[in-house]
Structure 1
Amino acid sequence: MPAGRPRQFDPSVALNQAMELFWARGYEATSLQDLLGATGLSRSSLYQTFGGKHDLFAQCLETYRDMVVANMWQRLEQAPSGRAFIEDSLRRTLAEQTAPGGPRGCLVLNTANEFGHRDPLVTERVRAGVDSFRDVFAEAVRRGQADGSIRSPRDPRRLAAYIVAGMGGLRTLVKADENRDYVQDACDVLLLALDRD
C-alpha cells in the first residue's frame, strides 16, 4: 500500500469477522480463501495488516478473550451474589445446546483441544485466556464466600480452576449433543463443590 494512502477497511471489523469464522470452524478447517471471503480483504491487505492466517488467529484469540472476559466481569458486577454468577454461567453453557446454528463452545477451549501444546504462540494465548476466566471465577467465589452464598472455605483460585475445568467438560458434552438431563446432572455436581469443605 503506498505511503499515506488510507485503508479502505476497518481492521477491527475484519478482525471480528475472522474471529467469528475461526470460532465456528476452528483453525485447520478455515482456509485463507475463507478468511478473504468473510472479511472482504485482498490477500495483500490481510498479510500487510495481520501478518497471515496464523498471526491473525492469534489476534482473534486475544480479541475473543477480551470480549468474553469483559462480559463476565460485567455480569459479575450485576449478579446478586457470587454463587448466582457461577450458576448463571453454567446455565448459559447448557443453553448453547439449543443455540441457532448449534453450539460453538468457547474459542479458547476449542483451540486448546485442536492445538494441544504444538504451537507456542497459540499455547500462550490459550493459557492467558484460561487464566483470565479463572480470575473472574476466583473473584466470584470470594464474593460468594463473603456474602454467604458459597459455603466452601476452599481457596477461591482452586475452586475457580475446578469450575473452569468443569465448564470445559460441559461445553464438550454440549457440542457432542449429549442428553440435556445428563449435562444438567453434571452441572449440578459441579455446583456441589461450592458447598463442600
Structure 2
Amino acid sequence: MADITHGTWIKDGKAVDAVYQSDVKVYGRNLLKDTAGDSSPIMVTASGGSISGDTTVSTVDGVTKAIQTTGNGEFFYRFMAPVVDNLYGLIPGGTYSFSGQLVSSDGSVSIAMRSQDSTSSSGFSDLPKVILPASTDFQTFSIKFTVPSNATGFYFSIQEYNFSAGDSFSFKQLKLEAGDQTAFSIAPEDILN
C-alpha cells in the first residue's frame, strides 16, 4: 500500500514515480531536491545550483531569494551547471514540466525561464524562452519542455533581464517532473534521507 507523506507517494520505503487515477496522472515525482524549504533547490543528480558572480542567494521558510548586488553581468539561478556532456538524469527526447511560484522585486521586470541544450562539445544553444508577466506578487508558472533528442548536455535556469543593482527575484514550491504537471510535492529524497 502506498503512503502519502508531504504530498509525496512512498511505497515500501521507496518513492513512487507516478500515480494515475482513472487514467489521469495525479502525482509525478519531484526530480529537484532540497524542496522541503531548508536550502535552495537543485537537480537530484547535480552537485549544486549556481548563480552569477554578482548575485547572492538565501532560503528562508521555503522561499529562495536571489539578489543582484552590482547590476552588472547576468542575473540567474541555475539548477545545474552548464556542462556539455551532462544531462543530469534527463532523457533525450523526454518531456518534462517545471512549475512553481515566482516574483520579482521590480514589477516592471519580467522573469525568464532559460533552457539550453548541447548537441556537441562546441557549446550550448538557446531553446525558446518563456517570459512571465511582471508582477509584484508570487505568480504560479508551469513550463513544459522537451529535451532535444540529440542533446548531450542540458541545463535550465531562472533568469532576469533588464535588471538593476538591488533587484531580486524569489521562488518557492518548485517541481520538475517527467510528463505533465501535477500538484506540488516535496522531492522523495528530502523525506527518505
Q: TM-score when scaled to structure 1?
A: 0.32
Which has the larger Rg?
1
Question: Relative to total residues, which structure has the larger helix share, 1 or 2?
Answer: 1
Q: TM-score when scaled to structure 2?
A: 0.32
Q: Which has the higher contact order (CA 8 A, sep 6+)?
A: 2
